Amino acid sequence: MHVRELAVRDVYEFSPRLFRDTRGFFGAPFQEEVFVKTVGHPLRLGQINHSVSRLGTIRGVHFADTPPGQAKYVYCPVGALLDVVVDLRVGSPTFGTWDATRLDAEACAAVYVPEGVGHAFVALEDDTVLAYLCSTPYNPGAEHAIAPLDPELGLPWPADLEPVLSEKDRSAPALAEASAAGLLPDYAACVRHYESLRGA
């Protein structure tokens, strides 16, 4: 398993070794030992989400109140997508920074998104599937969104795709508006939460 930290602090991409033969291939997108060594604590599992999206669909930028927040370990078992993370933690050294990585069914790579970091993606093919291992169950009262088309963020959505958005994401506030309204996670609170997960 190859691991690299993305430009947003505490976010990691995990790329498993794939074993190919005449039948196809086998890979393990999540490996607990590598995950714990990288992140410092086990992945709590409160819910598994499964989304199917048509070409051009953008889901996000989503985040939850922290603590407890909702960490996500995401991978793409069918199709292909551009996965995007945005540091929404006020006070973070990488606040406002985003990074993106392609996830697809051929590479079986995964991205870990810790509590307090925003997550979004765009489907690059019809019927693209994203599987999310989530640390906590869905809590509608604690879920929030940032406008994925916020020009100040400048997220790298492909220019040749017509974006397909939910009404929730289309009407979500820009990053500056959410910050002014006090909706964004506090970095120090997130760090304390991470340390509690590590038993520090």
Catalytic residues: 62, 132
User: What is the CATH number for 100?
Assistant: 2.60.120.10
Give Cβ neighbours of residue 129 (< 8 Å, ≥ 6 apart): 50, 51, 52, 53, 76, 77, 78, 79
pLDDT tens digits, 143-181 = 999 999 999 999 999 999 999 999 999 999 999 999 999
Residue type, position 111, single letter? V
78-135 confidence digits (pLDDT tens): 999 999 999 999 999 999 999 999 999 999 999 999 999 999 999 999 999 999 999 9
- This prediction has a pTM of 0.96
Mean pLDDT rounded to a whole number for the chain: 97
Place 17 in a pLDDT band, splitting at 50, 70 and 90.
very high
Domain tally, the chain: 1
9: its two tokens: 């602090």
Taking the CA of residue 82 as centre, how many other CA atoms within 13 Å lie in the half-sphere pointing to its CB?
18
Residues 6+ apart with CB under 8 A from 27: 16, 17, 18, 19, 108
Confidence of residue 200 (pLDDT cuts 50, 70, 90): low
Q: Domain range spanning residue 165?
A: 2-199
Whole-angstrom Cα distance, residue 190 to residue 139?
A: 18
DSSP 3-state percent helix, strand, coil across the chain (nearest 5): 15, 40, 45
- pLDDT at residue 199, rounded to an integer: 87
The predicted pLDDT at position 112 comes to 98
| Per-residue model confidence as pLDDT tens digits over 42-52 | 999 999 999 99
Across 20-33, average pLDDT: 96
